[in-house]
Amino acid sequence: MLKFFKRMERTRNAILIVFAVLLVASMIVFGAIMGTQTNPDLTNNSEAAATVGGEKITIGEVVTQQQNIQRRGQPIPTNTLIDSLIRDKLIKIEAERLGLTASDAEVAERIRQANVSPDGKPFDQELYERNAVNQAGSISAFEDGVRENISAEKVQAFVTSGVSVSEEEVLNDYKRKNTKFNLTYIPISIADIAQTIEPNDGELKTYFTENKKDYYISLPQKKIRYLFLETAKIGEKLDVPDADLKERYDKLPEDAKQAGVNVQEIVLRVSNAEVADQTQGKAADIVQNLRKEGDTISEEKFAEIAKGQSEKPVTAANGGRVEGLVRRATDPEKEDDPYQRVLTMKEGEITEPIEFNSSYYILRRGKAEPKSFEEMKKGLELSARNTKAYSVASELAGKAAEELKKAKDVKQVAEKFASEANMSVDNMIRETGFVKPGDDIDKLGVSQDFEQGIAALENQGDVGEKIPVSGGFAIPYLVDKKAPRDAEFDEVKDKVAEAFKVKQAREKVEEIANRIAAEPNSSSTLAATAKANKLESKEIKEFILGSPLGEGPSATTSEALENAIYNLKTGEVTKKAVKIGDNYFVVGVNEREEASTEEFAKQRDQLLQQSLQGKRGQVFSDYLAAVRERMEKAGEIKIYKEAVTRIDEFNAQTAPPPQPQQPGMPQMPNGQQIPPELMQQIQQQQQEQQQGQ
């Protein structure tokens, strides 16, 4: 063959060239194909995300479980899920080591028990296999899960067989959870102390001089006079027929016609950072146990666990039932509220453990309560009027902008359009100080739309286009402009004062809090003490340990605070301020109602059993934590960071698209989204309307 090619040298060279071209072309094509696969499916990937005692947790296993959880609207971080899977592996390894693995007969018996027909019909093998595949992907995977659950029960029973609780222990816990307090307290924060500090000009000028570089004005400043058209005022002149409102109501999806959703909760408190992992593990165990027989949990079953396991007495006593209904939040600051998650779930589904305000929450969505047309009519009318008013205001603002460009006189244009805008001339004309991007402008706040609308105005007398702002539209007119420069004290005095007061408050807050606590106080004089120190006292009735102290997002609690309150007698005040984060509390007990021992006697057996279960759960969590620590030190547990990164990148690329506009929220006639400023106004008014009902 080689001699043949040598004799045909020209042909040989041609063949080699063709072969080389084909090789390069195939590489290019292959590279192009691989280049398009920037998002390979990881659900069947068998590479290790983690290993536990030689057993592998695959990337595919993690991704598949995340997708299953995501379908229920309950996303879970990759690291958190891997920790949960590691825990399952630890239990399996311990079961094998201790000879406590479930037998085939035990697995079969458990499956038969879980599939008993209420009408006495024989076991339906076909139905069972179909349900098993739906839940776990395959029959073998489902049965492996049942086997691991039985094994886990055996290991827990073995590890906790010597655990016991005394009646005295349970009684003391009952008293702590059921004693009620009427409190007066003083919350003391850096912000509170800052408001009490009154610096003089000399102090502020000194601070300004020392920190002058912090106040350099690096961007041009503009003084703007603008014409303002208020949407609500224009809306007052508009009429919306009942027929239009009924049509709007009929078009709403069913979930938008809800007064709210009933919710049950199980709350596990994290008293300090050392027990955070144990508490998370306990919460994961509760979820796993609840879901043994399916994704939907009955109200009664959840209530039983809540009464025995939840550490929030107010709701635990009522089977975890949260007072009132959960509605969709319209306040952006409440979007992280864990209760909002149930709105995307089906009735009977429960969440994964949610960490929030130093606790882990497990929530169950209950029945949705409907809302009739008559109940929604006022809100629909407000929404319809605002939507229509926005269109009218937008058109009127466009006309006013064109007129201002010609006249160059804000007052003259205001007089011309005041009647149509349903406003007085004085209310239509507004003026800013010298402002730059990022400044908080009076009546507008920090508005990116306004900043963009005035960005092109460079010369005195320039007029901009209409700008959607909070409550309506603005048409800007440039009055004056200043170049970047060192700030003068007078123009940044307010900012200097705030910075100075916060600095002083940060240095003094602990000293002031403890000085207030050390004063000869009683609960009846605590309010006067707060007033004398330019602070505000607050009261709370029927406070139960485990409930947060305070108001709004700053409400909190801790083991130290609860111990301090429980040890106070009627009339007494904490002798030292209790610190939680950056805040301090001085608390006085006005009245103390001891827990009823008669009621304890009625619940004694149930409480003993619940306490025993809780203690066993804690001991088991501690045991697994110790096993994990030992195996980690021995290098028997490994988490592969590169695999975690790949999973996170895959999740980011395959995340579902953003949710469409919320049901029930108004839209523009042309189908476009309403600008954020108007949406904020509508949402605020709708929320006020709901509260008024």
pLDDT tens-place string over residues 402-427? 999 999 999 999 999 999 999 999 99
Q: What is the pLDDT of residue 589?
A: 96
d(CA 451, CA 434) in angstroms, rounded, equals 13
* Least confident residue range of 87-101, 210-224, 229-243: 229-243
pLDDT confidence tier of residue 235, bands split at 50, 70 and 90: confident
Q: What is the pLDDT of residue 528?
A: 93
Q: What is the pLDDT of residue 654?
A: 77
Residue with token string 């939840």: 310
CB 240 within 8 A of CB 387: no
d(CA 683, CA 267) in angstroms, rounded, equals 30
Computed on alpha carbons and rounded to an integer, the radius of gyration of the chain in Å comes to 33
Res. 227: pLDDT tops 90: yes
The pair of three-digit structure tokens given for residue 190, joined into one six-digit string: 């850096």
174 three-class SS:
helix
d(CA 37, CA 40) in angstroms, rounded, equals 6
pLDDT mean over 38-55? 84
- 3-state secondary structure string, 296-331? ECCHHHHHHHHHHHCCCHHHHCCCCECCCCECCCCC
- 3-state secondary structure string, 374-392? HHHHHHHHHHHHHHHHHHH
437 three-class SS:
coil
pTM: predicted TM-score of the whole model, two decimal places? 0.54
For strands 637-639 and 359-370, give the pairing: unpaired
Q: pLDDT tens digits, residue range 349-388?
A: 999 999 888 889 999 999 998 888 887 888 787 778 778 8
Higher-scoring residue by pLDDT: 240, 537: 537
Q: pLDDT tens digits, residue range 451-468?
A: 999 999 999 999 999 999
- 3-state secondary structure string, 81-117? HHHHHHHHHHHHHHHHHHCCCCCHHHHHHHHHHHCCC
443 three-class SS:
coil
Compute CA distances 334 → 327, 337, 340, 552, 656, whole Å: 11, 5, 8, 10, 22
Q: pLDDT tens digits, residue range 428-447?
A: 999 999 999 999 999 999 99
CA-nearest of 339, 288, 329 to 145 is 288
* Least confident residue range of 95-104, 487-496, 657-666: 657-666
Sequence letter at residue 181: F
pLDDT confidence tier of residue 299, bands split at 50, 70 and 90: very high
CB 387 within 8 A of CB 678: no
pLDDT mean over 262-287? 86
Percent of the chain with pLDDT over 90: 53
d(CA 274, CA 269) in angstroms, rounded, equals 12
pLDDT mean over 24-34? 44
Residue with token string 């300004």: 208
CA-nearest of 243, 414, 267, 242 to 339 is 267
Q: pLDDT tens digits, residue range 466-518?
A: 999 999 999 999 999 999 999 999 989 999 999 999 999 999 999 999 999 99
Res. 31: pLDDT tops 50: no
Higher-scoring residue by pLDDT: 553, 621: 621
Compute CA distances 518 → 121, 194, 584, whole Å: 73, 21, 14
For strands 472-482 and 48-52, give the pairing: unpaired
Q: For 29, list phi and psi in degrees, rounded to 5.
A: -60, -45
Helix or strand (DSSP H, E) at 650? helix 641-653
Average pLDDT, the chain: 84
Res. 521: pLDDT tops 70: yes
Higher-scoring residue by pLDDT: 549, 2: 549
d(CA 380, CA 399) in angstroms, rounded, equals 29
pLDDT mean over 526-536? 92
The residue length of the chain stands at 693
Greatest mean pLDDT range, 1-5, 36-40, 88-92, 675-679: 88-92
d(CA 180, CA 593) in angstroms, rounded, equals 5
Q: What is the pLDDT of residue 395?
A: 95
Which letter does DSSP use for residue 573 in this model? B
Interhelix angle 597-633/299-309, nearest 10 degrees: 80
pLDDT confidence tier of residue 333, bands split at 50, 70 and 90: low
Res. 564: pLDDT tops 90: yes
Contacts of 688 (CB under 8 A, 6+ apart): none
d(CA 299, CA 263) in angstroms, rounded, equals 10
Contacts of 342 (CB under 8 A, 6+ apart): 261, 263, 326, 351, 363, 364, 365
The pair of three-digit structure tokens given for residue 132, joined into one six-digit string: 């098993």
CB 185 within 8 A of CB 540: yes
Q: For 585, list phi and psi in degrees, rounded to 5.
A: -130, 135
Sign, CA dihedral 153-154-160-164, equals positive
Q: What is the pLDDT of residue 677?
A: 41
Higher-scoring residue by pLDDT: 299, 144: 299
Contacts of 596 (CB under 8 A, 6+ apart): 178
pLDDT mean over 121-147? 83
Res. 683: pLDDT tops 60: no
Residue with token string 């539209």: 473
pLDDT confidence tier of residue 691, bands split at 50, 70 and 90: very low
Neighbouring CB atoms inside 10 A of 242's CB total 11
pLDDT confidence tier of residue 335, bands split at 50, 70 and 90: low
